[in-house]
């Protein structure tokens, strides 16, 4: 099911949906092309706090897995939107819902890790731009994921 410009997506805390995570990641090989990393995300979807956007038929079209490392911060461990729904507001709904929940719990920061700007990948350039438009600030680029995959830490004060 597609959503036209009049659709308003709603994200909510949800049950664990590893099969939906697997299905969504398959639509995003440009971002999630490493089978072992994808399996780690699918396994994480069995236990991590889960937020989802569902279409009118109940199908998950966007997912966020959240970690809480410290009492003042929540991390978007994974955020993925089915390619068919890119640009329709699903990702924004997920960030907004996780942020509202974090704020209500008294948290002060949201964090996300993504591929750093020293890597030429255009898709991840769009990813960073998405987060920047939502108020995330680049904090540090490291070699956490190896020399060929620079990890950019981004934070958002809330």
Q: Give residue for tokens 């960030």.
A: 95
Length of the chain: 158
List Cα–Cα distances, 37 to 43, 96, 114, 129, in angstroms.
10, 26, 13, 23
List Cα–Cα distances, 66 to 37, 39, 76, 97, in angstroms.
17, 17, 5, 12
- Beta-strand runs (E) in the chain: 11-14, 49-54, 60-70, 73-81, 109-115, 137-142, 151-157
Among the listed residues 27, 119, 12, the one whose alpha carbon sits nearest the alpha carbon of residue 58: 12
The 10s digit of each residue's pLDDT in 95-148 is 999 999 999 999 999 999 999 999 988 888 899 999 999 999 999 999 998 888
Among the listed residues 74, 71, 32, the one whose alpha carbon sits nearest the alpha carbon of residue 51: 74
Percent of the chain past pLDDT 90, that is, above it, reads: 84
Collapse the DSSP code of 66 into the 3-class scheme (helix H, G, I; strand E, B; otherwise coil) and give the result: strand
Domains in the chain (CATH in brackets) are 11-157 (3.40.630.30)
d(CA 157, CA 111): 9
Q: What is the pTM of this model?
A: 0.92
The 10s digit of each residue's pLDDT in 21-38 is 999 999 999 889 889 999
Among the listed residues 86, 90, 108, the one whose alpha carbon sits nearest the alpha carbon of residue 99: 108
User: Which DSSP symbol is given to 32?
Assistant: S
CA 29 to chain centre: 15
d(CA 26, CA 38): 9
The 10s digit of each residue's pLDDT in 87-109 is 999 999 999 999 999 999 999 99
């Amino acid at each position: 099911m597609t959503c036209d410009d009049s659709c308003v997506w709603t994200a909510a805390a949800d049950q664990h949906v590893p099969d939906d995570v697997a299905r969504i990641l398959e639509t995003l090989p440009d971002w999630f092309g490493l089978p072992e990393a994808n399996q780690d995300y699918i396994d994480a979807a069995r236990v991590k706090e889960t937020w989802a956007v569902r279409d009118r038929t109940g199908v998950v079209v966007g997912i966020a897995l959240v970690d809480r490392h410290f009492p003042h911060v929540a991390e978007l461990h994974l955020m993925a939107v089915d390619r068919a729904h890119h640009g329709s507001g699903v990702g924004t709904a997920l960030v907004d819902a996780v942020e509202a929940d974090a704020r209500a719990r008294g948290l002060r920061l949201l964090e996300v890790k993504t591929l750093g700007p020293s890597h030429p990948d255009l898709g991840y350039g769009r990813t960073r731009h998405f987060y920047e438009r939502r108020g995330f600030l680049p904090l540090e680029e490291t070699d956490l994921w190896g020399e060929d995959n620079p990890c950019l830490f981004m934070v958002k004060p809330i």
